[in-house]
Structure 1
Amino acid sequence: MAVLTAEQLSEPLTRLRIGYDPALVPAGGAEVIGQCASPLADAMPSNIEAAGRGFHEKILIKTGAFASREELHRSQSAARLSRKASVASFQSDADAQENDPNYKGPKPDIKIGTMVWEDHYDIMGLGRERHLADAEAIRVAYRTRSLMLHPDKLITPDTTEEEKERLDDRFKALNTANELLNDAKKRRVYDSVDAPPTKLPMKFETEDFFDKAIPAFHSLCRWFDGKGDAAKFIESDPDAPYEKVRKMYEFWAKFKSWREFPHEDEEDLESAEDRWGRRQIEQENKKKREKSKKEDTDKIKRFVERAEEKDPRVIKKRMEDKEAREAKKKAKGAGKREAEEAAKKAAEEEAAKAAAAAEEAKAAKANAKKELDKQKKALRKEKARLREQSARADGWVGHPGEDDVEELANSFDVQRCDEIKALNDELEANENEDAIVAVLTRELAKLEGAKSEERKAAADAAAKRAEAETKEEQKSAPWDDEDEIKLLDKACNQKFPMGTKDRWERVAEYVCEHGARPRTAKEAGVKPTGDDYVKFQAARDKKGSAEVKDAATERKDSFTDVDVKMNDPNAWSQDQTKALAAAIEAVPKTAAAKDADRWKMIATAVPGKDAKQCFTRYKEMKEAHKAAKA
């Protein structure tokens, strides 16, 4: 290449090249002898070279693209405004939503309480796909948009602070949308509020079923909370087999929706200080959503029931089943049908009678209860009245005292309400305290007499029971077997001597185990009789009749370590109990001046017992009688 002259260097740009002198090239190398050729070489000082944005501006002006620097700046400002107004101005994708002639811009913000959702799908460029966008579509959309909307690519030296803030906010919104759409839980909530309210037809008829019900089923598929596609359980064919239709309604009867219903009073999870607080907020928010969730579930359930009711295929099947039943019923014959109808009618009449009887019994029971409550109320009133009348003579000589008056009042029941009323009338008519005391003493004497009769009856009943038990014991099998008598003797004198715990039970068990007949503890305690026992006793006495020549030794210690219980001195025999009952009846309360003298008189008629023991026994018998009566 020849060395360029100064005239050649000033020629048009297409002919400019790097100049060099071959003579000056050193051995094995090259040496630059001039600077790069430049279309601005003649316009710039020799020691200054244009570069960067200034270089581009001067080139555009020199080539005639713009007449002046001011015109160039006006064009650049217009380009920036166009870029701000539409993403399409810097987006090369012809399929983007902003290039769609039907694009109407983002949806308005969704506000529920303090919660606000922007149109995240529109921010991501997925305004047309929305809830149908999968994870891959979201990933690609975010990558594309982040490259186009990054502030570093849009901010210029002439960008104002307000514009910078707007670009930053737009990029932050893009990141927020990407984060929400990649969080399954948050996206479910957003999709729930982004979608319109569930609108299901409830008033369609059979002829409208396929036009209204089937599309409604398809609209519910997106909310199916389960595996698989709910759409495969929608049978839109009018001639579909009934078995498929039945399975369809079995599925939709159990359909569960995942749609969420945020409440306007919910708290923000981000305000929780720790995991426990977050869990508490989640639980509270869940409770607030339950009402709307239940309403949506009930709405779907009612729609499914209505659809099944109006489905022509289901109606057809039901009609066929009904016709089959009627045909089968007719086949049985008119006589059997009439008999069944008569039986059914009789059963209905019987049920009606039973219901009427039950209603009458219920009414009678209610009336009886009301009457009883009325009588109880009257009795309580008369008892209070008796206490008031008795209090008029309180402290008077011979007054029986509050305890006896209370006992007298408690002796009256609802059946004797008229008697206590008559007694109160009598007491109220007497203004003299002596007369009141006399009436009370008389009534207490009657009460004591009645108690004596009851005690006597109880004592007679106890005596009869004891006599019956004695006869029952005597009816037991006799000890007429010599071997059995030997077992009894061995058990009593060798195995289980006196003082053994549960002696007679253990004796009976031993005799039963080694003998031929079962024996009870009572039978073991009965003394054997009969010829066999006489022979056994004679043989035992003969065996033990050896002469004893040595003197008997004295035993100073106990022969056994078993404590033998002595007879209880306070125990009462049957005869003593009968004597006590007779004495109490013979010596009434009014016959003695003092209570202590009365019990001394009673004790003289009971052998082996003093007044204190008789009084204690009387109290025991009284408590036992009350317990038995209760």
Structure 2
Amino acid sequence: MAHIVELSVVPPPLRSDWTPPQSTGKSIAPLVERRLIPAGSAYLAHVKRAVHNLSFEEHDKHAEEERKRLEALYGNGTNGEDDLGVGDEEETEDLLSLDPKEWKKQDHYAVLGLSHLRYRATDEQIKIAHRKKVLKHHPDKKAGVAGETNDDAFFKCIQKAMEVLTNSERRRQFDSVDPHYESLEDEVPTEKEVKSAKDPNSYFFKSFGPVFEREARFSKKQPVPLLGEYNDGKEQVEGFYDFWYNFDSWRSFEYLDKEVNEGSDSRDDKRYTEKKNKSERARRKKEDTARVRQLVDLTLGLDPRIKRIKQEEKEAREAKKKGKTGGANGVSAKQKAEEEKKKAEEEAKKKEEEEKVARAEAKKAKAAAANAAKKARRAARADGADA
């Protein structure tokens, strides 16, 4: 429970040399009513406590849990600041010994410690990674330290990597020929590997799925349909192959263009170099298109869904054919039954007519016999009367 303590405050006496200020004669500005809007971290914390009905202890507990969650998700940067998942990659001897003059051959993402992010790295992550590398490898910081003779060279590589990756056009060109993914282009499973696997169906999706995920980053059209699963329907499978057979790639190869010879002002040299670069870009583009087409052809030939869909269609056709045949037999049996019924009715009608005729003949014969007997009796009476 809060306790109130009253403190008596006695102002000190005025100084002996104090004099009241003189009036300036200027008019006092009119009062202006201003609306103050609450803001800041303290106000946000107050709102959170009020909305969720939290005590100070509960609020602090939630804040600590959120901090730990973000730390586990992104990691910690220098001075305990959030580095957005940049982290600290190991720097190998080969990386630290890069020649800044050969900057086109270096892996800019590896130089900045972004090998695990690469084309997915955001602009903010690139800035954080660059700041970390500068703080670690700046020549002024390493000046006078024995054994650090290559710091200046690697620092130039860091600056070049930052220059390339912060320029959207040049970064796009570098992503087109990223050495990390170029080394993976040959790691496509073969037909023999798929068929000899213990579970060919599972191996097919496990091995070809990541390949199409890597290639999807070059597509002008987004989103890109990926390989999918074994139980995908015919429409989904056809959509996948239709997209990849008409794959429209933004991949370019300007990054590999040869530079004009230094010190040369000859227009002919520049034109020749530009023509050569254009021809090389077209050749690489054509080869890349053929590579993707071969990949799709290989995938189509090994896709277990194709065989499954064909089998399902065959079974559906057989079932449909069987249903039609069964239906035809049913109609014939019905017709046959109707014919037999009709025939039986006709026979019964004919028999009834024959019986009717027989009854009529019998009745006629009986009447004739009665007439004959009557005549005989008359003749016998006539003979007796004559005698």
- Tell me the TM-score normalized by structure 2: 0.47
Using structure 1 for the length normalisation, give the TM-score. Answer: 0.31
Which one has more relative contact order, counting CA pairs under 8 Å at least 6 apart?
2
When Rg is computed on C-alpha atoms for both structures, the one with the higher figure is 1
